[in-house]
Chain A
């Protein structure tokens, strides 16, 4: 188990602040965040490439904070894989084992096993220059896994792959992780990729971990406005509440919440229902005209312009046209109320821009 406590570090102008993170044995953790949020820096600190200013990193209870990278037994696969260009695939995989002075026969055995697990038999004698993106990724993975690290750090390992290959490779990564029963930390900025591989995710911004949890849990209960926006909750409003109703402009949303005063209301577009056949009974109902619609691969996105402007996701089965008047309902259980103080410097969000 890897435990990081109150980790702080600075690299030039960039600061990593108060990182607290736990990776359980056999767990696949995704680290998500926008560009420049500190994801790569964090895993470089874990790998030992940088020394933190304060805080501790423990592996199975042992403090490794001040150990050199070669003493940590933590694998690292950088974004460009960094395969040694002067070595063949086989030699790349054997590199770590030879560095640990393993006897030659054991090195050969381990390399052959890794080549077999990752299905690299046909490329074992090739140089890295002659490998495709997917092959390079497998070799980098094999090289890191051959040394049986306690934790494997993957820095955007799928970013160089095309969409189809990315999904397939994500599945493969997950299978490999389950096969070796190791703990993996996977950095990416795409939450679909994170959802494909991770048991749990941690979301970073500005050098801090803002929220950790399952993808479903974070989507349902974002901690603040940043998380809500990052998780593509497109309906985010600023309002006032008395603890049972949220007032947004002239609109009232029924939602019990523990706050009073200023509040941020978040509604995910896929949680908004379109009322069929003009049914308009119940709470949190709003009428509006379709201002814009966009057909996407798995759903249709509607911009509904009414008293409460909303973005709504619906199935592609029904066709909508610009100007159609519809009723929509936002069920109270799917409205997330965030205390205004959790969103420092939140701009006026009402009305939202499509």
Chain B
């Protein structure tokens, strides 16, 4: 037997307003289709340029997510568990990506990458970080690493420290405890966070605009490509890529909700 539902004008108003959000997005998608039509939209999906842009977006977002995780997992754990100098400062910094525009990050990167160690790397290893795919990766990583740390901290905060205490009393070192107890327990939260970080990296645009700039065939990840094609008046491309971006976002959010359902990361 389910719980008896409460009627009345107040629940109806709240549910109605929730429906408005859905309506807005349906209208957005529908308006583009109405403008372009089904056949033309599908036509652009057959173009290799579309899939190249999608592939560039997927792999750069995946690599930058992996790099973010390498730092985000231990950093999130440190912020969740250990006391150290400037802990509160770090805890505040990881919240910055939520309030500061990625354009600020892009602007800062522009000044930094001409100096050590970036200039040293480009000189000795012939890896130039700038208006190329390395630049894309650097911007995505810089924007998502703090975001990733924030989510990892939330995942670890949900695991009671008692489990670690018990593991230690059983003779396990903190290192073993982390890999055998904490990580497996945080698994759902980490996967859910990873998806959100990946989606955030794939959607990065403002930082790229400032630091990398738009180079056709080199740095045109999906959101960036939409901007380029919009300026070029190619509405067919814009519509098709917008649909792909929407599908990617919906898939990522759904996956996060399903996998991380019990972890309440978000």
Q: Which residues of A contact B (CB under 8 A)?
A: 44, 47-49, 68-70, 72-78, 80, 82, 84-86, 95-96, 99-100, 143-144, 147
Contact = CB atoms under 8 A, between A and B. Distances in A.
A76 B185 contact: no
Contacts of A95: 167, 170, 172, 180
A48 B168 contact: yes
A96 B172 contact: yes
Contact of A69 (B165, B181, B187): B165
A85 B185 contact: yes
B144 to A, nearest CB: 27
B53 to A, nearest CB: 40
Nearest to A155: B162
B168 A69 contact: yes
B164 to A, nearest CB: 9
B163 A99 contact: no
15 contacts: A48-B169, A49-B165, A70-B168, A70-B171, A73-B171, A77-B166, A80-B162, A82-B162, A96-B172, A99-B170, A99-B171, A99-B176, A100-B171, A144-B170, A147-B171
A47 to B, nearest CB: 5
B160 interface: yes
Contacts of A76: 165-166, 169
Contacts of B74: none
Interface of B is mostly: helix
A82 B160 contact: yes
Nearest to A68: B168
B254 interface: no
Contacts of B169: 47-49, 69-70, 72, 74-76, 144
B184 interface: yes
A72 B168 CA distance: 10
Interface in B172-229: 172-173, 176, 180-181, 184-185, 187
Nearest to B160: A82
Contacts of A86: 181, 184-185, 187
A99 B176 CA distance: 8
Contacts of A144: 169-170
Contacts of A84: 163, 167, 180-181, 184-185
A68 B184 CA distance: 23
B173 A44 contact: no
Name the residue among A69, A78, A85 with the largest chain B CB count within 10 angstroms.
A69
A93 B162 CA distance: 17
A100 to B, nearest CB: 5
A117 to B, nearest CB: 18
A147 B168 contact: no
Contacts of B185: 84-86
A73 B184 CA distance: 25
Contacts of A100: 171
A247 B199 CA distance: 81
Interface string B133-169: 0000000000000000000000000001011011111
Contacts of B171: 70, 73, 96, 99-100, 147
Nearest to A74: B169
A75 B181 CA distance: 17
- 5 residue pairs, one from A and one from B, having the closest CB atoms: A96-B170, A99-B172, A69-B168, A86-B184, A76-B169
A68 B174 CA distance: 10
A251 B185 CA distance: 66
A77 B163 CA distance: 10
Nearest to A91: B180
A100 B165 CA distance: 16
B108 to A, nearest CB: 39
Given A48-B168, A82-B160, A99-B173, 14 more contacts: A44-B165, A48-B169, A49-B168, A69-B169, A72-B169, A77-B166, A78-B165, A84-B163, A84-B167, A84-B184, A86-B184, A96-B172, A143-B170, A147-B170
Interface string B65-86: 0000000000000000000000
Nearest to B165: A49
A282 B102 CA distance: 92
B259 to A, nearest CB: 15
B172 A47 contact: no
A78 B166 CA distance: 8
A99 B172 CA distance: 5
Contacts of A80: 162
Nearest to A50: B165
A96 B171 CA distance: 6
B64 to A, nearest CB: 29
A176 to B, nearest CB: 18
A47 B162 CA distance: 12
Contacts of A96: 170-172
Given A70-B173, A86-B184, A99-B176, A78 B162 contact: yes
A105 B176 CA distance: 21
A80 B162 CA distance: 9
B88 to A, nearest CB: 17
A69 B185 CA distance: 21
A141 to B, nearest CB: 12
Contacts of A147: 170-171
Contacts of B172: 70, 95-96, 99
Nearest to B181: A84
